[in-house]
Structure 1
């Protein structure tokens, strides 16, 4: 439905992957001025003796090929291994106020940070300081607080297990559980929803399970962009005859057809492999009702024909079956069709495919977890699997698709604002101090606390917190109220420029770089989406002689804060990551036993995953069917003129990092200021493709939460639904609009109003985006 008359928008008919991917990899290496060294670096990505790619958390196969990287992984590596440098001289040439006028791409494209810097408000510039001074200033800011809970310790999922463990230990030694982390913004509904259902907030499958599944159901994810290494797995499944069903508001190219850059035949013949055998374009936020409709259809089939449900499994391994059956049967088809956006016939079609499958895997991404009722939706996915005993046997299970390469590992080793009593007791027993028991802040709660003035110091272990968070109108203003912000980072980003009274930048090693401490080359460890833990060892020389590793930086802050700590040898841990792993093993017995020995085995080891073996650590001792109890309500609030926006990542993007302005698979080139809309909706509103439009938060009376002068593009998307890029449209995501159980912002279901571009909005306020 693209119109070539719209500048930068044209049809893209090629498959995902293929020559387009190879061309993009070459372009990324050239853009970051690292063609030769970057090419060498890529050959060590995801290899047993190499480094773990920071691009995604898809697991490594047991038998790696000559290159185990994808297009977007290559971009992530090139972005980190760039020869560009953001030196103090660069910051001397530009004030913070000037840098704030740059695009996010331009800010990060300055290159790698090279030495510690502190913000000078008198000169509005970052200026170099020594590491000792940086640690002393950070410690002074923390010790000046009246209450430890006035500090927020944010963690990005790119941090290693070793860095994350030291980080949580430092913060709890300080006295707080305030760990707003990137999980809060993506897969927290998994962490909240799955434990009630199966006793663990992680997936149950292994990579080998995909070799045995005859059905793979994909809900709310775009693997070609967000976890492209998964495409090799889906391709192999399709080629051996497995059925793949896609459930998503937009058709994504990678779920339609894919050409493997490692297949000489496909590359030479310009052929491809079909991926999804059927595509179900569910309405934004309609997944839970869709799944309940499939369950309703399955129950009808069982009543009519029998042999559909796994009654032995249900009887032996589950609880709550009768209540869910009653709830689903009470739902009428009109409600299901209206809420899911799919007809009864199409839902029954999907259910019939599932009924015939002998082993099914259900995958889901943030298209399902970033709504007002995401935790409940996750539990409905589990209900569907439990009906046929599709958890805990080969080729079957639940597969949450994580983004950052160690976001799951961070949570495993203690980065969580709601820690378990067992973990806190273990910390007490191992280290000899009483950790705080009060639950800490999520991302949304942290922003609210900073906004109120209750939190005054922010320490960020990686990430681009303010840009990743919702509602920049409130978030940006809150960050500017801080007494002190300390950022551990490889590159500058916009959050670093939202300075309050004091701000410090601490440059760290990247995943690709050699980490030598006390004369010994160190390795770190990470956990992938399927609970495999393995080592990562960088090979490149550091971007600057002044860089420090994340574990060493955390230990340096702790040593400066606690002085001669009788309970934790912070300097010793900074120099010996084996010692950190020994402590992890002591705090988490059973999970990390013989950690150092296991991680030295190529491929690493798998953490215990009870549901894989049908061990259910729930209150009932069984897997629980859970009745759907919608918590979020209708985001449209009964207003028929309100539409629902889902935010998207482009193909030239990784989370908040914008590599470039192309979104090849969606046919958008050289721009990001577009909004995808159903053509019938456009006609109804008197709009045409190519028109300039404004997009405003539906229930914001201030007129501040508006993006202006975007170009509307007709696209095959359900009526009443819109799609646009993140983070540009975060301005319309209210801080108060989030999953009611987990607090995850509703980036995928924002109530909005779409209008032809105008100078002012109806309430008289000037229509304007939230600029820094």
Structure 2
């Protein structure tokens, strides 16, 4: 199996650990979450340094959590801490004093490092100095910052066209750095700006912009506290946004009902033990979901249609009491055509296709029928489906029927992943900038930015594969492990002339690289960022449109780190030289100067430097939140969208697979090897299956299997997984990413948003064949 290869492994090693099955939990958080949070600080050897920082994270005047984008309360914040277990784990990895230096790379070849698991790679510590991998080299070696920027400039300026470069952004990047990053790319001459939105919530923006006039959510945190019904669909708050459970608990106490829709009965949907309350420590905690609907993978559309069908029936029986006819008449368009389509639907057919019983669907419709204050929340369980755009538009349809958008306690809430992914897009990190945005750039800075749309994530992978992109600059993130079709993506990255990664920690993307490669270490959110002897702050935008300051407090682990803003400025100075019309040194010297020019370019940032210094930050404009739907096609009206039912057909030996996180990871960062709430300990290579499917296929619970995908006639293999019997709809399976990203075809994308459809992967499962590795080597 351990056959020597010329190239480092692009995936986690194919080896099993020692799987232990524990109790599947029916509630989340509580004392176990507190113990896990502080356990990581002790494991990293920073109990005092880390704890001090924890009590400043998400506090007014403190620093923004580097993990999820769930908002902080506008007013009072808990003195016990505004953080969750995963936020504490993220901080532990930032606060660690373990260092990855040039001496570490001297002792460890790229090939040998790739033999480690993602968990082991991430535990090596903080990157402490810039390093360079020459063409044909086996070990990264030290390089000065000046020489690193000179190397980048040489490669960029040698390109035949600026479009042979691409500039990727992760959601960790601040507003200030993001703005300068896109400004540099545009002055350099390209809109090739793929970003992590292209893999998580691009679908949300694509669905919402033409329907309500803005590609963001419309609710505030306080809306959760005073609403009638909260619908959570395709999202797992207990793992992906744990602080959301506090908001759900508060809403429940004030009378809200919660409907949970998901293939798995996740603990964070069912119950919550608030560790900051006596009831959460020694009591029974709070029940969350009043109704759980176990929808099949990609059965969401049928379920939404079934609910719509029943609501129409309720309205016929009680005219004007179910639908908000005045809202429909004043604020929408296309109502009659929308209602007419339901003549062709039958409840029994929709229910069967969704996997949810007619009785449960009726109960859900009844909970919604005579309520007006309704919030719909969703995550990647919807956005990474091939028809995700249409499913979100169907959610909007239901809210428009009810008049449940643009009023207190009602609206849409896409639960964003990374902490500033929404801010990145506001700062014009976008491969498809609008003409209005480009016109403002031209007016303020005096150069004509490129107008042709650039590559998104899927597009840039294909472009690299075809050698159309030769330099790839990654501002944060772990591109290889986050993207689909791992083998295909790895081959694409290896064709680059130069790959550059701005990072805080080592990850697998540093080990699968271009012919030459640079790793540039930068500050974390929690680090003190000094410029000209003065501590600086940056700003971020949370998932509800609040812009707030973030000021680190920890002494950096190395004096060779450079902040992201100065990395962009120094790259621009080295690359563009005298041909630039922008004073990049001014920005390098002052974050206030950056904010002054953001104010000139982006609506909603008036008096930026003044308002961002308010302790609670400020809200960006959101017309839809106020009930004003300004769409390009329909003026001041929100259109009902006609959507279709998908045809999901599986062969007798096929299963539908969705990828998911464990509770011990955030995106591609692996904090540990347990999935506590699902009862998995010390293993990641598992596949959750329905017991009936296991028996029907002649498998056994605990058996070793190999997984295959054959999209586009290409065989993709993920070997050596353990079957775990689980409560999941028949025909459906669930696995962890990035271990099964290899099975997600580069062409399996969401219609409209071109996102990878990682929650909709057709697979075949075969008994494990030890000779499978020889076939993988050939592939």
**Normalization by structure 1: what TM-score?**
0.96
Take 2:343 and 2:734, find their aligned partners in 1: how far apart are those partners?
Answer: 33
Q: Residue 571 of structure 1 corresponds to which residue in structure 2?
A: 585
Take 2:86 and 2:343, find their aligned partners in 1: how far apart are those partners?
Answer: 44
Q: Once structures 1 and 2 are overlaid, which stretch shifts more, 8-17 or 410-419?
A: 8-17
1:59-458 matches, within 5 Å, as 59-61=71-73, 62-66=75-79, 67-267=81-281, 269-306=282-319, 307-458=321-472
Contact 1:707 1:769 in 2 (8 A): no
Q: Residue 6 of structure 2 corresponds to which residue in structure 1?
A: none
CA 1:180–1:769: 2 relative to 1, 3 Å: farther
Take 2:405 and 2:531, find their aligned partners in 1: how far apart are those partners?
Answer: 44
Take 2:25 and 2:386, find their aligned partners in 1: how far apart are those partners?
Answer: 35
Take 1:51 and 1:239, find their aligned partners in 2: how far apart are those partners?
Answer: 30
Deviation at 1:121, TM superposition (A): 4.0
1:494 and 2:505 are equivalent in the alignment: no
Q: Once structures 1 and 2 are overlaid, which stretch shifts more, 207-216 or 7-16?
A: 7-16
**Normalization by structure 2: what TM-score?**
0.95
Q: Once structures 1 and 2 are overlaid, which stretch shifts more, 615-624 or 506-515?
A: 615-624
Take 2:349 and 2:191, find their aligned partners in 1: how far apart are those partners?
Answer: 42
Deviation at 1:543, TM superposition (A): 1.7
For each residue in 1:617-650, what CA deviation from the matched residue of structure 2 results, as whole angstroms up to 9, or x when unmatched? Answer: 21212111100046xx6464x5233211011100
For each residue in 1:451-472, what CA deviation from the matched residue of structure 2 results, as whole angstroms up to 9, or x when unmatched? Answer: 0011100000000001100000
Q: Once structures 1 and 2 are overlaid, which stretch shifts more, 301-310 or 331-340?
A: 331-340
For each residue in 1:349-387, what CA deviation from the matched residue of structure 2 results, as whole angstroms up to 9, or x when unmatched? Answer: 111101132311110001110011111111111111111
Take 2:638 and 2:179, find their aligned partners in 1: how far apart are those partners?
Answer: 30
> Could you tell me which of 643, 649, 654 is aligned with 2:655?
643
1:55 and 2:67 are equivalent in the alignment: yes
1:477-556 matches, within 5 Å, as 477-556=491-570
Contact 1:708 1:769 in 2 (8 A): no
Q: Secondary structure at the match of 1:184?
A: helix
1:686-705 matches, within 5 Å, as 686-699=698-711, 701-703=713-715, 705=716
Take 2:166 and 2:337, find their aligned partners in 1: how far apart are those partners?
Answer: 41
Q: Secondary structure at the match of 2:705?
A: strand
Contact 1:157 1:407 in 2 (8 A): yes
> Could you tell me which of 626, 637, 651 is aligned with 2:641?
626
Take 1:421 and 1:635, find their aligned partners in 2: how far apart are those partners?
Answer: 39
1:664-675 matches, within 5 Å, as 664-675=676-687
Take 1:650 and 1:173, find their aligned partners in 2: how far apart are those partners?
Answer: 41
Q: Residue 3 of structure 1 corresponds to which residue in structure 2?
A: none
1:744 and 2:748 are equivalent in the alignment: no
Take 1:758 and 1:331, find their aligned partners in 2: how far apart are those partners?
Answer: 45
Gaps of 5+ in 2: 1-17
Take 2:136 and 2:738, find their aligned partners in 1: how far apart are those partners?
Answer: 31
For each residue in 1:265-293, what CA deviation from the matched residue of structure 2 results, as whole angstroms up to 9, or x when unmatched? Answer: 431x2421111011001110111221111
Q: Once structures 1 and 2 are overlaid, which stretch shifts more, 387-396 or 120-129?
A: 120-129
1:706 and 2:717 are equivalent in the alignment: yes
Q: Secondary structure at the match of 2:69?
A: coil
1:727 and 2:738 are equivalent in the alignment: yes
> Could you tell me which of 48, 54, 61 is aligned with 1:42?
54
Q: Secondary structure at the match of 1:728?
A: coil
Take 1:414 and 1:402, find their aligned partners in 2: how far apart are those partners?
Answer: 17
Q: Once structures 1 and 2 are overlaid, which stretch shifts more, 14-23 or 597-606?
A: 14-23
For each residue in 1:5-43, what CA deviation from the matched residue of structure 2 results, as whole angstroms up to 9, or x when unmatched? Answer: x94112144631111101101211122221110011100
Contact 1:706 1:770 in 2 (8 A): no
For each residue in 1:437-460, what CA deviation from the matched residue of structure 2 results, as whole angstroms up to 9, or x when unmatched? Answer: 111111000000000011100000
Deviation at 1:700, TM superposition (A): 6.1
Take 2:664 and 2:536, find their aligned partners in 1: how far apart are those partners?
Answer: 32
Contact 1:179 1:442 in 2 (8 A): yes
Deviation at 1:616, TM superposition (A): 1.2
Contact 2:372 2:403 in 1 (8 A): no
1:595 and 2:608 are equivalent in the alignment: yes
Deviation at 1:334, TM superposition (A): 4.2
Take 2:233 and 2:777, find their aligned partners in 1: how far apart are those partners?
Answer: 32
Deviation at 1:487, TM superposition (A): 0.7
Take 2:342 and 2:380, find their aligned partners in 1: how far apart are those partners?
Answer: 25
Q: Secondary structure at the match of 2:140?
A: strand
Q: Residue 8 of structure 2 corresponds to which residue in structure 1?
A: none
Deviation at 1:565, TM superposition (A): 5.1
For each residue in 1:536-592, what CA deviation from the matched residue of structure 2 results, as whole angstroms up to 9, or x when unmatched? Answer: 000111121010111110111011011135521111101101111111110113x11
Take 2:609 and 2:219, find their aligned partners in 1: how far apart are those partners?
Answer: 24
Contact 1:209 1:396 in 2 (8 A): yes
Structure 1 consecutive aligned stretches of length 4 or more whose deviation exceeds 4 Å: 633-636
1:552-563 matches, within 5 Å, as 552-563=566-577
For each residue in 1:86-123, what CA deviation from the matched residue of structure 2 results, as whole angstroms up to 9, or x when unmatched? Answer: 11111110000111111111112111111111003454
Contact 1:16 1:259 in 2 (8 A): yes
Take 1:514 and 1:760, find their aligned partners in 2: how far apart are those partners?
Answer: 52
Contact 2:198 2:456 in 1 (8 A): yes
Contact 1:708 1:767 in 2 (8 A): no
RMSD: 1.6
Q: Secondary structure at the match of 2:557?
A: coil
Q: Once structures 1 and 2 are overlaid, which stretch shifts more, 750-759 or 608-617?
A: 750-759
For each residue in 1:47-100, what CA deviation from the matched residue of structure 2 results, as whole angstroms up to 9, or x when unmatched? Answer: 111000011101110211111001000001111111111111111100001111
Take 1:15 and 1:289, find their aligned partners in 2: how far apart are those partners?
Answer: 28
Deviation at 1:212, TM superposition (A): 1.3
CA 1:324–1:760: 2 relative to 1, 3 Å: farther
For each residue in 1:732-759, what CA deviation from the matched residue of structure 2 results, as whole angstroms up to 9, or x when unmatched? Answer: 1000001021011011111111222224
Contact 1:642 1:698 in 2 (8 A): no
Q: Secondary structure at the match of 2:680?
A: coil
CA 1:767–1:383: 2 relative to 1, 3 Å: farther
Gaps of 5+ in 1: 1-5
Take 1:295 and 1:332, find their aligned partners in 2: how far apart are those partners?
Answer: 11
Q: Secondary structure at the match of 1:327?
A: helix
Contact 2:656 2:733 in 1 (8 A): yes
CA 1:178–1:13: 2 relative to 1, 3 Å: closer
Take 1:519 and 1:202, find their aligned partners in 2: how far apart are those partners?
Answer: 38
Deviation at 1:499, TM superposition (A): 2.2
